[in-house]
């Protein structure tokens, strides 16, 4: 029986595997001993938000697998795939501090071997918001997450609520495909000034970093206005103006949606209906997203 000790880890962090075959072999060994397994899919460049997901994994399972894979199929040609931060050595050191059991860090060729020709088509919660400006995005996300879950077949997989629409898409995908994996949403982890933690925050220059928390401030103000009975159109228009006035160069969306289906909301006529505000805006060359419950 394997144990979660230094003997199972490399000198620079947890044990690391780079092929699906090796991942399955390790997970199969844990299953034979009855261990419950959690998976945390990431693209690396880990921060406290990611680490909070690993901690939740250990609260819910005996073993935690973290995947690190910058997925090329969710980036458009003009996006930041090549420049996306890659910090594997540091990531491994952080994961070692938490006692992470295993890291799956495959190559693009391992995930998408020659002749790969299948892609998941998404609808439902994938429609609108991110899809309006990134129509390629959720097909790439759903495909890679499905492959990761099929490769490891964990009991649960944990995703942060910061990427709220992604979480909704993954939940829908897992249900629709009948994957026997519980999809767990975890609260957004924030900097002291309210900015949602993100690997892309590293792109912000000092002046932009000072402005960035306005995004969360406006979300909170807009949610408060909606709870006070301000009509959605007025509350959203006020929020959009405030974001642009603060120095954001462009706003992709600030919208109110059903918290479960992500269908658009045009009024507050359904008392008790859970609602979610979602926003995406550009600060310099950095695209920031955030959301909050209403």
User: What distance in Å separates the CA atoms of residue 72 and residue 165, rounded to the nearest whole number?
Assistant: 19
198 labelled ligand-binding: yes
136 is in an annotated binding site: no
Strands lying side by side in the sheet with 286-293: 250-258, 275-283, 286-293
Question: Is 36 known to sit in a ligand binding site?
Answer: no
**What does the alpha-carbon distance between residue 75 and residue 112 come to, in Å, rounded to a whole number?**
15
162 is in an annotated binding site: yes
List of residues 6+ apart from 259 with CB closer than 8 A: 274, 275, 276, 293
Q: Residue 92, annotated ligand binder?
A: no
Say whether 29 counts as a known binding-site residue: no
Q: 161 among the known binding-site residues? A: yes
Q: Is 78 annotated as a binding residue?
A: no
What are the DSSP calls for 110-142, one per residue?
A: HHS-TT--------GGGSSTHHHH-TTHHHHHH
In whole angstroms, give the CA distance from residue 37 to residue 108. 24
> Do 110 and 19 contact (CB within 8 A), yes or no?
yes
3-state helix, strand, coil in the chain (%, to 5): 45, 20, 35
- C-alpha–C-alpha distance, residues 73 and 136, integer Å: 8
Structure-token pair, residue 8:
């199972």
173 has binding-site annotation: no
The question of whether 50 is a catalytic residue gets the answer: yes
Q: Which pair of tokens denotes residue 276? A: 């979610």
Is there a binding annotation on residue 199? yes
Instruction: Compute how many other C-beta atoms are within 10 angstroms of the C-beta atom of residue 10.
Output: 12
For 226, the enclosing helix (H) or strand (E) is: helix 214-227
The answer to the question of whether 9 is labelled as a binding residue is: no
The neighbouring-strand residues paired with 42 are: 68
Please tell me which residue in 9, 50, 136, 216 is annotated as part of the active site: 50
Binding-site residues for (R)-pantoate, in ranges, read 74, 166
Binding-site residues, in ranges, read 43-50, 74, 160-163, 166, 189, 197-200
Binding-site residues for ATP, in ranges, read 43-50, 160-163, 189, 197-200
Residues recognised as catalytic: 50
Binding-site residues for beta-alanine, in ranges, read 74
């Amino acid at each position: 029986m394997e144990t979660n000790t230094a003997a199972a880890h490399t000198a620079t962090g947890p044990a690391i595997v780079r092929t699906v075959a090796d991942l399955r072999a390790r997970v199969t060994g844990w299953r034979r001993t009855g261990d419950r397994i959690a998976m945390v899919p990431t693209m690396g460049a880990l921060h406290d938000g990611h680490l909070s997901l690993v901690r939740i994994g250990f609260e819910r399972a005996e073993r935690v697998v973290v995947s690190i894979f910058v997925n090329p199929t969710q980036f458009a040609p003009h996006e930041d795939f090549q420049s996306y931060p890659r910090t594997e050595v540091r990531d491994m050191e952080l994961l070692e501090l938490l006692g992470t059991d295993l890291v799956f860090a495959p190559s693009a060729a391992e995930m998408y071997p020659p002749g790969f020709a299948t892609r998941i088509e998404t609808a439902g919660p994938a429609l609108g918001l991110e899809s309006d400006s990134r129509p390629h995005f959720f097909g790439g996300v759903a495909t890679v997450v499905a492959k990761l879950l099929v490769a490891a077949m964990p009991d649960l997989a944990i995703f942060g609520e910061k990427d709220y629409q992604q979480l909704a898409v993954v939940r829908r995908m897992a249900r629709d495909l009948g994957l026997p994996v519980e999809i767990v949403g975890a609260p957004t982890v924030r900097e002291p000034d309210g900015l949602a933690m993100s690997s892309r925050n590293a792109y912000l220059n000092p002046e932009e970093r000072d402005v960035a928390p306005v995004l969360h401030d406006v979300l909170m103000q807009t949610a408060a206005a909606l709870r006070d009975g301000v009509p959605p159109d007025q509350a959203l228009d006020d929020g959009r103006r405030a974001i642009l006035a603060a120095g954001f160069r462009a706003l992709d969306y600030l919208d109110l949606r059903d918290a479960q289906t992500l269908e658009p909301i045009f009024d507050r006529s359904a008392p008790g209906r859970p609602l979610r505000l979602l926003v995406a805006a550009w600060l310099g060359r950095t695209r920031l997203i955030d959301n909050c419950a209403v």
